[in-house]
Chains A and B, each alone.
Chain A
């Protein structure tokens, strides 16, 4: 089969590799019909995620048709059309029973690597480094899906791939970002990062009853998409000072909840601070460039929620813990517990509450993956979201 392989920093190749085989009774093999490039894939592309090996197949947003099932998979049949959550979860451990699927205790066979860095290990993820399990990803023609009786959600034929594909990651991720904000009537929610995840966070905050939703980014085309998703206000951080603008918009209170949909490769308009974090990140003295998170903390109203769905890998500098502690802020975060959200969000798609396809700007053949990554990373051609067709 053809698959997108990580060959090194900023070096991808689409190559012929062996077809996946069933390794475990609870596996299924999926023939992939649509797969997308995620913003977090850019962290791999840019070389900021440790424990990648040359030849790793990447990609974790995919869907397709079941072509083979292991003996232990009772709920899927060959021919079923499924969307696959990017978090691999066993469904049986205590964390899965608590619905904290992205912290499954069994799905990461390389948990010792993660434990060294993080104390305890999170779940295994598709195509996202060996620290996260060493699982091949879904930017390929086929994929092996472990615990296929727990993760994949069946979808009906009348829904297009483009409508349901993002149940694999970014729609639940944006939704969880808003869900963690515990939104009350009248709440003002600010979202840092108006990429696809930020756009879904905006849409979800509106669905969950936020009064005003403020999107923050520096690209007009993304801010336009955020408006389309329901943002009442948009801020271009290269044009305004974000903290001042938020004070102005909320009459000095600060947003009730702040969502960080940016993560470890944030940009800052303050040249000195940006340079400081870039140097430290390049020297591997810190793994993050956390401007968005620092700003979200400082902006949040006293006692409000800072909801972190942007990806961080390790350690950061100048974390404003004094602001968090003295102002009773609540930080909620996590890789998405996708399995918790697939069913209710599929219902919302079916009800017409949202059509997730609005984020897509480019549809390309799988063989164009290396070019698609460049397009997406460098913001060329107003690229917002790429779907690859194997």
Chain B
């Protein structure tokens, strides 16, 4: 599962999310009406079944609306159940009810096809972010793979040098509280903030270090969250500073569900990396993170939704 599904796929996911919401709400609010429309209102089981199906429709609606195509799998499973039920119902309906049920079945089959295509494509989608070309090294099945890029108006040697001194990273990485280097800088101990006020810790090692070009690292066994990262430095065209591309991969606590929930609380991992890079640029170019009274922490996604008024803090 990657966080970088293409825009077309995300749009389809949102469309399916809308369909799920519409169907779910209609079924829960007026199960009798839906049963009549579909032509199964002659069965005693129709109303409870339609209500249950409506509740199930709502389950993947929110993540799909958020553009997460992987949730189409939930719809695919639901479609299989629905088509089975409808197929069985078709065998003992006649006349007008048969025609209505047949139309509904064809419609469900059509949406099911879109669900299957979306779900399969989501499984195949690969990172398309700015640093997608960097090697991914994560061996985990459920991982978050995020990337971001910025241009820093300093020579590559200086930009690389700042990053290579790992203990400085918490200056601009908002969620990393502390990094201690061990063994002369090859290994390091990381303490980071996780959602819901938890902290997570891990030891990491540098696995590739090409001065002024690239640093790649990964967590060692026993990490609270297994992760890998790579940062690439490249002179910008025309000698206009250094292009910095970061790619991070980490096993997500709570898997995909945890990620969707975290995103609802403003902890989108992609946004975190982009904010970190904005602060990195500020630190290298201006010396410090740039703060305003409205955003005292500097660039921070969570703060955008909860701005302090622009007057001095007491």
Contacts from A to B (Cβ < 8 Å): 3, 5, 17-21, 23-26, 51, 53-57, 72, 90, 92-94, 97, 105-113, 124, 127, 130, 133-137, 144, 146-147
Distance of A30 from chain B, by nearest CB (Å): 13
Interface contact B304-A112, CB-CB below 8 Å:
yes
- B78 adjacent to chain A (CB < 8 Å): no
Interface contact A26-B286, CB-CB below 8 Å:
yes
Distance of B157 from chain A, by nearest CB (Å): 17
Considering the chains assembled together, what is the distance between the CA atoms of A250 and B107 in angstroms?
68
- On chain A, the residues within 8 Å of B289 by CB distance are 24
- On chain A, the residues within 8 Å of B288 by CB distance are 24-26, 72
Contacts from B to A (Cβ < 8 Å): 151, 153, 240-241, 271, 274-275, 278, 281-282, 285-296, 298-301, 303-304, 307-314
Interface contact A55-B290, CB-CB below 8 Å:
no
Distance of A279 from chain B, by nearest CB (Å): 30
Known: A18-B314, A20-B312, A21-B312. Contact between A135 and B293, CB under 8 A? yes
- On chain A, the residues within 8 Å of B286 by CB distance are 26, 90, 92-93, 106, 147
Interface contact B281-A21, CB-CB below 8 Å:
no
Interface contact B287-A23, CB-CB below 8 Å:
no
Considering the chains assembled together, what is the distance between the CA atoms of A109 and B286 in angstroms?
13
Considering the chains assembled together, what is the distance between the CA atoms of A127 and B278 in angstroms?
22
Known: A94-B153, A109-B291, A112-B304. Contact between A5 and B281, CB under 8 A? no
Considering the chains assembled together, what is the distance between the CA atoms of A23 and B296 in angstroms?
8
Considering the chains assembled together, what is the distance between the CA atoms of A72 and B153 in angstroms?
20
Distance of B78 from chain A, by nearest CB (Å): 34
Considering the chains assembled together, what is the distance between the CA atoms of A106 and B277 in angstroms?
11
Report the nearest B residue to A137, measured CB to CB: B310
- On chain B, the residues within 8 Å of A3 by CB distance are 311
Distance of A123 from chain B, by nearest CB (Å): 11
Q: List 12 A-B contacts (CB under 8 A).
A: A18-B312, A18-B314, A20-B293, A56-B309, A105-B285, A108-B290, A109-B290, A110-B299, A112-B271, A112-B274, A112-B301, A133-B292
- On chain B, the residues within 8 Å of A92 by CB distance are 153, 285-286
Interface contact B240-A94, CB-CB below 8 Å:
yes
Report the nearest A residue to B296, measured CB to CB: A23
Report the nearest A residue to B153, measured CB to CB: A94
Considering the chains assembled together, what is the distance between the CA atoms of A111 and B275 in angstroms?
10
Distance of A362 from chain B, by nearest CB (Å): 25
Contact of A135 (CB < 8 Å), options: B271, B292, B303, B314: B292
Considering the chains assembled together, what is the distance between the CA atoms of A25 and B289 in angstroms?
10
Known: A92-B285, A110-B292. Contact between A130 and B299, CB under 8 A? no
Interface contact A135-B310, CB-CB below 8 Å:
yes
Contact of B311 (CB < 8 Å), options: A55, A107, A109: A55
Considering the chains assembled together, what is the distance between the CA atoms of A106 and B241 in angstroms?
15
Interface contact B299-A134, CB-CB below 8 Å:
no
The 3 closest A-B pairs by CB, nearest first: A134-B294, A55-B309, A109-B295
Interface contact A107-B307, CB-CB below 8 Å:
no
Known: A92-B286, A97-B153, A146-B290. Contact between A109 and B310, CB under 8 A? no
Interface contact A19-B285, CB-CB below 8 Å:
no
- On chain B, the residues within 8 Å of A113 by CB distance are 304
Distance of B312 from chain A, by nearest CB (Å): 4
Considering the chains assembled together, what is the distance between the CA atoms of A23 and B292 in angstroms?
8
Contact of A107 (CB < 8 Å), options: B275, B290, B300: B290
| Of B153, B282, B290, B310, most A-chain CB atoms within 10 Å | B310
Interface contact A124-B310, CB-CB below 8 Å:
no
- On chain A, the residues within 8 Å of B299 by CB distance are 109-112
- On chain B, the residues within 8 Å of A19 by CB distance are 312
Interface contact A134-B293, CB-CB below 8 Å:
yes
Interface contact A54-B312, CB-CB below 8 Å:
no
- On chain A, the residues within 8 Å of B282 by CB distance are 90, 106
Distance of B91 from chain A, by nearest CB (Å): 53
Interface contact A130-B310, CB-CB below 8 Å:
yes
Considering the chains assembled together, what is the distance between the CA atoms of A106 and B283 in angstroms?
9
Report the nearest B residue to A128, measured CB to CB: B310
Interface contact B241-A144, CB-CB below 8 Å:
no
Interface contact A93-B309, CB-CB below 8 Å:
no
Interface contact A53-B292, CB-CB below 8 Å:
no
Interface contact B308-A134, CB-CB below 8 Å:
yes
- Extra contacts, 7 of them, besides A53-B308, A133-B294 (Cβ < 8 A), are A18-B313, A18-B314, A25-B288, A110-B304, A111-B299, A135-B294, A136-B311
Interface contact B153-A93, CB-CB below 8 Å:
yes
Known: A109-B298, A135-B293. Contact between A72 and B287, CB under 8 A? yes
Report the nearest A residue to B152, measured CB to CB: A93
Interface contact A130-B307, CB-CB below 8 Å:
yes
Known: A134-B293, A134-B294. Contact between A94 and B241, CB under 8 A? yes
